[in-house]
């Protein structure tokens, strides 16, 4: 692990959860700081150089949402919210106040680690990638990027292998971020023939793409399903 | 039991009916017989062993006494010195007014007796004279009976003069009208003449008849009447009184009366008071004292009316007695039968034994039957009386009539008895109904002070309106002054404006109420300027809206509390669960030498995953069922939806060896649903299939349009036996496998159904053996515009 020391602050009022996360992240070689409420977390960030914050929402003294709001006034480090609140409204709130990801409890520790890695890669590496772009054939959304010249797909800097059909579907969606494509539209675009009735071929391909580019395919960050309408990649 | 009772009642009924008919026939038959005996006294018939003690005998005696006194008067009027004297002078006024012929002419005109008798037989003759054509037109004889009416009628109507033809002259030889003086006008004289002729005709006839009947050899009656005043004696014994030797007492029945000594002796029931009364009628004649002897020879040597009555009495009395006895006993029998019926009827058998007829209101029922009975009885009596002379017919008719009337009576009577027994006599009466109405109204008037106030104020306003109008119209018509009518019109117009004003206020209040009923509680009715009644109404509406607002607020608060509760509980469950998940994972990573320990950790891991699912489903289910869920409906392509879902489950199905056979509608089916929620529904049922379907079987997915609905169904063969009801499957915590050995929370189908229903769809589960079928249907959205 020849990488510079990375400091991660874990903040939850439940000490056992903090301990567990500490163990997982330490195994990955990260330096873990611990805090047990929002105030503590904010003061630690003042004192230490923190590269990523994992914070719970429901905490005494200062809750995660407020702490994130405070933090965003002076820092842009990645923030992953960890919460037992699983309602859409809670997630939207969390993302809106400046969090970069939202993981609902009880979470799979491996997923948490994956997301942490993903956030750190974007935070530390993507800034440099932006410099050598500019040839017009690179399409990206968040950590997802396609270089159409080299036909390579990277997620948070990691190269992902796709089949040609999968690549074409992803490219179609990524070229038109924010636009919803129906199954028939995708079919007609990729296969260049008229779609006859409803078919789950496209849906199966989409699922495969999601499994490859998403950390948790059930909660996709990039390739979203708009149920009954189609698929899309959100504008970032 | 019941039929025995019915039969017994029917028999009683029949017996009563027959008894009444027999009693009536016997009674009427005896009445007919009695009236044959004594037409006058039949109503008070009292049977006596001896004829002479009977009422009939009594009546006959009294009649005879009356005859004797009258005969004595006639004799003194028509006779002089013991024989009829035709040349006796009759003073018309004395005769008409006092009934006496003294033989002297007094104030009025006098005629000879024989002339008057003749004249009365021939009648009065008049001539009619038309004043315009002189000379007689006609002569007409008027019999005395018609004097009063017709003559003068003719005179008045035909405008003719009527003149009396004087066939007989007064004693002094001049014309009748020459006697006109201050006391008697011409008309008076003519009237006197007419009445005298009428009276003298009757008197002369009686004189002759009574003379014959009372002659000694024609009757069993003996009498001697002496007027002490004028020494006149009337007798059918010859002139000798037999008072000295008490001869009269040798007859069976006798009376001796002496008004001077007040001596009275009789062996009959005739009282001296009756005799004094009788003689009093002729007081003008019997001015002094008198002496009367009267006797009936009860050996009846002569066959006169007494003898005939005695014979009839002896003949009919036994039969009458028998008939009366029959009548009496059958009547008693009928009454007993009626009493038995009274006891037997009503009560007991079903519905208190009431019949249809017993539900007619009491008073009209009674009135109707009284009328029916009255009219029937009256008609019957009349008809039977008319048939008096045809006895068999009369009795037959009477029998039928009485039977019918008795039937009516029994019907009414027994109905009343049943009512009394059932206690509905009053409760089914008009009086009760009326009292209830009154009570209802008075109740309505007295509930709370406000009600009576508002009703009475309404009445007051109305009365005022009517009174003012009535006043103006009355004065207007009284004084024929149009200004009053104009005033009334102005008043009415003002009143109309008031009504409209009040009506508009009502409309405003109504508008407020409508607004509230639409669900907008922020309504206040402006009660300023309203009349008191509307103001009260408006205030009530305002209070209502305030109450509603408060209720809504508290309901929102409750909802929020509930949502918070769910969030907190889920937080408190999930936090420890998170630790467990994490540490179990850590355990798995640690190097465990013991195989057993590894196995335990595996079990822990599995159960932790299960607990995770369970917790999430539980929170979701309670959120849905408590309504703490936001639904945003959008137009969706149901076909594409299903394709997308199938894409998600493609691998899962393959992994467990399920073959998916889907037939989706060719045309696009648009529905309105919340995409993420609907995903949750379909996700649940597809996961169900993955979990519970028999591996290697086919799963059928169908989507088609059916009567305006998009109907999706998913069929599979269950891996395990499903021994529960379809309805139960969608209840919470129910799973197809009763042992609960498989993973899953038991909430999947419940959540799916609730979510579907929240989105306006229907969710049905169908079980047939191992066939498990879920049907989801949503109304189709017609507008098939291509979605973006």
Q: pLDDT tens digits, residue range B715-747? A: 988 887 777 776 676 665 555 555 444 555 667
ipTM above 0.95, yes or no: no
Identify whether residues A88 and A182 lie together within a single domain: no
The whole-angstrom distance between residue B754's C-alpha and the CA centroid of its chain comes to 60
Whether A1 is covered by a domain: the verdict is no
Contact A183 B643 (CB under 8 A): yes
Q: Tell me, yes or no, whether A85 and A69 share the same domain.
A: yes
Residue B34: closest CA among B55, B61, B9, B65: B55
Residue A109 lies in a domain: yes
- pLDDT score at A11: 92
HSE-CB of A199 using CA atoms within 13 angstroms: 12
Domain boundary residue, one of A128, A157, A175: A128
Establish whether the linkage from the previous residue to A106 is cis, with ω within 30° of 0. yes
Across the interface, which of B581, B583, B650 has its CB nearest the CB of A204?
A: B650
Q: State the Cα–Cα distance between residues B476 and A188, nearest whole angstrom.
A: 97
User: Helix H segments across chain A?
Assistant: 15-27, 38-47, 64-72, 88-96, 109-121, 127-129, 164-175, 183-191, 201-213
Q: Are residues A114 and A166 in the same domain?
A: no
CB B120 within 8 A of CB B200: yes
- Hey, is the C-beta of B436 within 8 angstroms of any chain A C-beta? no
Residue A165: domain span: 133-233
Nearest to A23 among B586, B630, B788 (CB): B586
Task: Identify the CATH number of the domain in which residue A97 sits.
Answer: 3.40.50.2300
Residues A95 and A179 in one domain: no
- Predicted local confidence at residue B378, as pLDDT: 92
Q: What is the pLDDT of residue A118?
A: 85
- Residue B632 sits at the chain A interface (C-beta within 8 Å): no
| A152 lies in the same domain as A228 | yes
Q: How far apart are CA A95 and CA A79, in angstroms?
A: 9
Question: Do A124 and A137 sit in the same domain of this protein?
Answer: no
Q: Say if residue A41 is in the same domain as residue A114.
A: yes
Q: What is the pLDDT of residues B549-579, one digit of tens each?
A: 888 888 888 877 877 777 777 778 888 888 8
Residue A2 is assigned to a structural domain of this protein: no
Do A24 and A112 lie in one domain? The reply is yes
Give contacts of B643 with chain A, Cβ < 8 Å: 183, 198-200, 202-203
- Domain count of the fold of chain A: 2
Q: Each residue of B58-105: pLDDT tens digit?
A: 888 888 888 888 888 888 888 887 788 888 888 888 888 888 888 887
Name B714's bridge partners.
B701, B774
Same domain? A187 vs A95: no
List, for residues B1-42, the tens digit of each pLDDT value. 456 777 888 888 888 889 989 998 888 888 877 776 655 444
| pLDDT tens column, B479-525 | 777 788 888 888 889 888 988 888 888 888 888 888 888 877 777 87
- Tokens matching residue B173: 């030889």
pLDDT in tens, B273-303: 888 887 777 655 666 678 888 888 888 888 8
Final residue of a domain: which of A94, A128, A162?
Answer: A128
Q: Please report which helix (H) or strand (E) contains residue B302, including its range.
A: none
- Per-residue model confidence as pLDDT tens digits over B100-153: 888 887 778 888 888 888 888 888 777 766 666 555 556 666 666 555 555 554
In the predicted structure, residue A208 carries a pLDDT above the cut 50: yes
Q: Say yes or no to pLDDT of B250 above 80.
A: no
Q: Which residue has the higher pLDDT, B459 or B603?
A: B603
Q: Among residues 575-614 of chain B, which lie with CB inside 8 Å of chain A?
A: 575-583, 585-586, 612
Per the listing, tokens 């540490």 go with B583
Residues A76 and A92 in one domain: yes
- CATH number of the domain enclosing A218: 1.10.10.10
Task: Please tell me which residue of chain B has the smallest CA distance to A232.
Answer: B788
Is residue A28 in some structural domain? yes
Strands A52-56 and A79-83: parallel
**Nearest chain A residue to B585, by CA:** A109
Which positions in chain A touch B673 (Cβ < 8 Å)?
A: 228
**Strand residues in B199-287 grouped as ranges (E):** 221-227, 232-235, 253-258, 263-266
Residues A201 and A161 in one domain: yes
Question: A100 and A213, same structural domain?
Answer: no
Residue A66, in any domain of the structure: yes
Q: Which of A110, A128, A146 is the last residue of a domain?
A: A128
């Amino acid at each position: 692990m020849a990488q510079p020391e990375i400091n991660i602050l874990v903040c939850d009022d439940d000490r056992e959860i903090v301990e567990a996360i500490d163990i997982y992240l330490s195994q990955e070689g990260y330096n873990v700081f611990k805090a047990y409420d929002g105030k503590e977390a904010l003061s630690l960030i003042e004192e230490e150089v923190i590269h990523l914050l994992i914070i719970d929402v429901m905490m005494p003294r200062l809750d995660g949402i407020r702490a994130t709001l405070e933090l965003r006034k002076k820092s842009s480090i990645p923030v992953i919210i960890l919460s037992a609140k699983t309602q859409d409204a809670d997630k939207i709130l969390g993302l809106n106040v400046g969090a970069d990801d939202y993981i609902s409890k009880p979470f799979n520790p491996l997923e948490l680690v994956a997301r942490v890695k993903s956030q750190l890669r974007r935070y530390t590496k993507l800034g440099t990638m932006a410099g050598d772009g500019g040839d017009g054939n690179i399409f990206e959304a968040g950590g997802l990027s396609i270089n159409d010249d080299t036909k390579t797909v990277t997620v948070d800097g990691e190269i992902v292998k796709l089949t040609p059909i999968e690549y074409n579907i992803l490219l179609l969606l990524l070229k038109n971020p924010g636009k919803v494509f129906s199954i028939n539209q995708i079919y007609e675009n990729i296969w260049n023939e008229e779609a006859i009735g409803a078919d789950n071929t496209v849906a199966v391909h989409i699922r495969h793409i999601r499994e490859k580019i998403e950390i948790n395919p059930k909660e996709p960050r990039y390739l979203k399903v708009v149920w009954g309408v189609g698929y899309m990649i959100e504008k970032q | 039991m019941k039929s025995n009772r019915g039969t017994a009642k029917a028999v009683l009924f029949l017996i009563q009916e027959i008894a009444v008919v027999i009693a009536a026939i016997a009674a009427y038959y005896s009445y007919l017989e009695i009236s044959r005996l004594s037409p006058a006294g039949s109503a008070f018939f009292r049977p006596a062993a001896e004829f002479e003690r009977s009422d009939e005998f009594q009546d006959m005696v009294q009649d005879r006494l009356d005859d004797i006194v009258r005969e004595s008067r006639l004799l003194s009027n028509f006779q002089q010195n013991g024989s009829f004297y035709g040349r006796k002078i009759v003073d018309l006024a004395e005769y008409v007014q006092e009934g006496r012929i003294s033989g002297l002419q007094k104030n009025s005109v006098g005629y000879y007796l024989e002339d008057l008798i003749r004249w009365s037989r021939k009648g009065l003759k008049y001539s009619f004279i038309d004043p315009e054509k002189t000379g007689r037109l006609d002569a007409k004889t008027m019999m005395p009976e018609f004097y009063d009416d017709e003559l003068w009628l003719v005179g008045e109507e035909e405008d003719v003069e009527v003149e009396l033809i004087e066939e007989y002259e007064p004693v002094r030889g001049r014309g009748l009208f020459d006697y006109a003086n201050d006391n008697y006008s011409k008309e008076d004289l003519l009237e006197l003449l007419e009445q005298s002729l009428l009276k003298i005709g009757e008197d002369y006839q009686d004189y002759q008849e009574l003379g014959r009947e009372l002659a000694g050899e024609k009757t069993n009656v003996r009498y001697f009447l002496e007027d002490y005043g004028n020494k006149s004696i009337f007798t059918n014994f010859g002139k000798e009184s037999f008072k000295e030797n008490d001869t009269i007492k040798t007859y069976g029945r006798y009376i001796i009366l002496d008004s001077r000594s007040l001596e009275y002796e009789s062996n009959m029931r005739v009282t001296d008071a009756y005799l004094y009364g009788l003689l009093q009628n002729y007081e003008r004649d019997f001015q002094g004292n008198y002496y009367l002897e009267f006797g009936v020879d009860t050996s009846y040597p002569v066959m006169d009316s007494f003898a005939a009555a005695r014979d009839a009495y002896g003949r009919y009395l036994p039969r009458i007695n028998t008939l009366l006895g029959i009548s009496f006993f059958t009547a008693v029998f009928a009454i007993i039968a009626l009493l038995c019926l009274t006891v037997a009827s009503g009560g007991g058998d079903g519905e208190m034994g009431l019949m249809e007829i017993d539900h007619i209101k009491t008073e009209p029922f009674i009135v109707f039957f009284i009328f029916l009975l009255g009219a029937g009885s009256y008609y019957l009596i009349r008809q039977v009386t008319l048939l008096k002379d045809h006895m068999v017919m009369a009795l037959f008719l009477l029998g039928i009539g009485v039977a019918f009337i008795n039937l009516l009576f029994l019907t009414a009577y027994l109905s009343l008895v049943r009512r009394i027994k059932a206690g509905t006599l009053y409760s089914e009466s008009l009086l009760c109904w009326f009292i209830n109405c009154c009570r209802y109204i008075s109740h309505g008037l007295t509930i709370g002070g406000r009600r009576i106030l508002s009703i009475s104020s309404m009445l007051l306003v109305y009365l005022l309106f009517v009174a003012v109008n009535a006043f103006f119209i009355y004065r207007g018509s009284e004084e024929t002054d149009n200004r009053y009518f104009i005033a009334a019109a102005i008043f009415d117009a003002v009143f109309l404006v008031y009504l409209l004003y009040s009506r508009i206020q009502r409309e405003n209040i109504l508008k407020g109420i409508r607004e509230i009923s639409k669900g907008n509680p922020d309504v206040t009715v402006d009660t300023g300027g309203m009349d008191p009644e509307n103001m009260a109404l408006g205030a009530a509406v305002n209070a209502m809206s305030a109450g509603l607002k408060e209720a809504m607020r508290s309901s929102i608060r409750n909802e929020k509390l509930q949502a918070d509760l769910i969030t907190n509980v889920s937080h408190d469950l999930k936090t420890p669960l998170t630790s467990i998940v994490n540490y179990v994972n850590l355990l798995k990573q640690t190097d465990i030498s013991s195989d057993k320990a590894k196995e335990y950790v595996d079990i822990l891991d599995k159960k932790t995953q299960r607990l995770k699912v369970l917790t999430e489903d539980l929170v979701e289910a309670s959120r849905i069922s408590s309504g703490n869920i936001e639904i945003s409906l959008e137009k969706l392509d149901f076909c594409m939806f299903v394709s997308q879902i199938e894409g998600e489950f493609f691998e899962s199905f393959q992994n467990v060896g399920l073959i998916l056979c889907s037939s989706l509608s060719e045309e696009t089916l648009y529905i309105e649903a919340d995409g993420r929620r609907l995903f949750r529904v379909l996700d649940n049922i597809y996961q169900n299939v993955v979990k519970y379907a028999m591996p290697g079987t086919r799963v059928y997915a169908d989507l088609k349009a059916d009567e305006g609905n998009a109907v999706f169904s998913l069929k599979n063969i269950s891996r395990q036996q499903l021994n529960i009801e379809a309805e139960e499957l969608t209840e919470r915590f129910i799973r197809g496998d009763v042992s609960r050995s498989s993973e899953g929370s038991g909430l999947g189908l419940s959540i799916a159904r609730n979510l579907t229903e929240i989105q306006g769809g229907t969710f049905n589960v169908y079980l047939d053996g191992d066939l498990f079928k879920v049907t989801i249907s949503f109304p189709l959205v017609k507008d098939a515009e291509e979605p973006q």
